[in-house]
Amino acid sequence: MAINWFKYSSPASFYPIVDKSIPWFMGAAIVLAIAGLYLSFFTTPDVLQDQKQYYRIIFIHVPAAWMSMWLYIIMAIWAVIGLVFNTRLSFMMATALAPTGALFTFLALWTGSFWGKTSWGTWWDWDPRLTFELILLFLFIGYMALHTAIDDPRRADRAAALLALVGVFCVPIIYYSVQCPDPNSLNCRALHQTSSLRSIESSILTSMMVMTLAYWMYSFAAVFMRLRSIMLEREKGSDWVKEMIGRIS
């Protein structure tokens, strides 16, 4: 029997899934975060490339940086779907993603500053990756500010979606800013150096992956909680919301 996935593009059909899944995602986030922090602090080597214990901040910093880019891409994808198909739920998803994306971008910059101070002796440098990560934070904030500044929700959705699309260029620049073939280029002389997951020790990589999964589970929970509020606010005049409120009362 084929499943009609298109029916879930309606807020009325998608709301029950969101409401029921939040506790599961939040529970998974808590369990994975505890496991990830334990692995990061108690099972990984004491020294990594002649660094001291402060290197362990990478288990917070690196997954946060990954999440900042992924969440922006996902937000932009939902914005495109909304613009192409004019679906209300798509715009709601993009709006719900922005604050969580901004949170992880800020966390990546904040923890990166601590890492930079201990490793490179400076809180901040106009390193290409640092600079464009900061621009990514401004794009998340700009998306939220633009959406809030326009009174009409439909116009706000479309205007903010266009801004999200314009900012997509930032993500590949962040990723490829250190992937340079010329060792004498400016990028390769930046603070961030070329790295590969294949070169990371297995226990360190495992800890990073567990923390990344914890961040993903938290993102699902936080975004769905926000999406639930947005759907109720936007659809408060619809029959399904009135019926649900009537059952609760």
SS3 assignment, position 51: strand
Entry pTM: 0.89
CB-based contacts of 99, cutoff 8 Å, min separation 6: 140, 144, 222, 226
Is 49 inside a domain boundary?
no
Is 8 inside a domain boundary?
no
Is 38 inside a domain boundary?
no
Is 162 inside a domain boundary?
yes
Is 148 inside a domain boundary?
yes
Residue 141 domain boundaries? 60-236
What pLDDT, in 10s, does the model give residues 208-238?
999 999 999 999 999 999 999 999 999 888 8
Is 136 inside a domain boundary?
yes
What pLDDT, in 10s, does the model give residues 127-140?
888 889 999 999 99
Residue 98 structure tokens:
């922005």
Is 54 inside a domain boundary?
no
Which amino acid is residue 70, in one-letter code? Answer: W
Residue 126 structure tokens:
């106009």
Count: domains in the chain: 1
What pLDDT, in 10s, does the model give residues 41-73?
888 776 555 555 667 888 999 999 999 999 999
CB-based contacts of 93, cutoff 8 Å, min separation 6: 78, 223, 227
SS3 assignment, position 48: strand
